[in-house]
A and B are shown apart, each in its own frame.
Chain A
Amino acid sequence: MNELLYCENLSKKYGKKQALNDLNLTLYPGSIIGLLGPNGSGKTTLIKLINGLLTPTKGSILINGNPPGVDTKKIVAYLPDSIYLNRWMRVEQIVDYFKDFYEDFRVELAYEMLGKLDISPKSKLSSLSKGNKEKVCLILVMSRNASLYVLDEPIAGVDPAARDYVISTIINNYNPEASVLISTHLITDIEQVLDEVIFLNRGNVVLHKSVDDIREEYGKSVDELFREVFKW
């Protein structure tokens, strides 16, 4: 199987602070992966490196064999941890933007999902509730037919109903040839949809295993194991 994501001795320093420290990681297509770790463990740094929003201090990162660039951006769909869209834009303008720049964007699918939420294409982003803004962002990302979806904290700060919506949207749009990398610290809510988990601590991978293996080997849920690994 060809590697979808390959990181070798990946390091990132902000000034003196070491955010990632010689991280090695390989991901393959066809699974939903949880990127778990306490705050400051390097989750967002890794995600930004995958998307080429940061450049590594040391080491290499390859997506489908290419370093982050125009080619990898075509196949990676990214949901940042904060709302990054232009507030003055209308929903339809943002859809237009995605349609223009991503060849794999499925316009009908996006409108179908927006319609189910009763979000009018004419409405301005600034007029939507926080929850709906986040849902619009998720819909845009999941409407792409990408090879790698990278979702940074998609369920943090949303109410339980919205959480269910996020999870069902991910399941509903999951394509077995693609992989989804989801970073979160709310493990209980999401662990049943994961195939494998990566535990990140102080910029390094401390555990990378299939979820069913964890349950069989340790006889406990991912959440319990997480709490044990990260006990202070």
Chain B
Amino acid sequence: MKFVLDKNRALSPQICEHICLQIALGEYMPDSKIASVREAALDFSVNPNTVQRSYETLEVQGILYSVRGSGWYVASDISIAKQMLEVVLEEKTAQYFESMAALGYTVEDVKSYVKEWKA
């Protein structure tokens, strides 16, 4: 999954979301080691402090855990990370409806349009 930073939003939550999605999509397995703070910082081209903050937030939420002297690991229970998928789905869908509303389409219009949609 490609990661694109939105500079109009705080960076740390964006990184949290991205890692949750990676876990939810199976890019990181439960109890597997994830990229170190520095590696991730280089990868995302962001400040290591930002990554550190994200990892700490994820630890509080029970999505990651840290092992002293070793690094950061994915929690055995990834159900919380998986909830992230729903959050994103909800968010993006809300955004979509909002932008359609701006074009004058009602929710019902859009829904019927989506039903006919062939991917």
Contacts and interface: CB of A to CB of B under 8 A. Distances in A.
Nearest to B12: A212
A192 B48 contact: no
Nearest to B5: A192
B8 A194 contact: no
B11 interface: yes
B49 interface: yes
Interface string B17-59: 0000000000000000000001001101111111010000000
Contacts of B52: 176
A171 B10 contact: no
Nearest to A31: B49
B49 A220 contact: no
B2 interface: no
A176 B48 contact: yes
Interface residues of A, number: 26
Interface string A152-172: 000000000000100110011
A184 B27 CA distance: 37
Contacts of A193: 45-47
Given A171-B38, A172-B38, A172-B42, A192 B47 contact: yes
A104 interface: no
B72 to A, nearest CB: 15
Contacts of A215: 7-11
* Chain A binding surface SS class: helix
A171 B11 contact: no
A171 B48 contact: yes
B18 to A, nearest CB: 13
A193 B45 CA distance: 7
Tell me which of B9, B44, B49 has the highest count of chain A C-beta atoms within 10 A of its own C-beta.
B49
B15 to A, nearest CB: 10
B6 to A, nearest CB: 9
A192 B38 contact: no
A92 interface: no
A114 to B, nearest CB: 19
A32 B42 contact: no
A193 to B, nearest CB: 5
25 contacts: A30-B49, A32-B49, A168-B45, A171-B38, A171-B42, A171-B45, A174-B38, A174-B47, A176-B48, A176-B52, A192-B5, A192-B44, A192-B46, A193-B46, A193-B47, A194-B47, A212-B10, A212-B11, A215-B7, A215-B8, A215-B9, A215-B11, A219-B8, A221-B7, A222-B7
Interface of A: 30-32, 164, 167-168, 171-172, 174, 176, 188, 191-195, 211-212, 215-216, 219-224
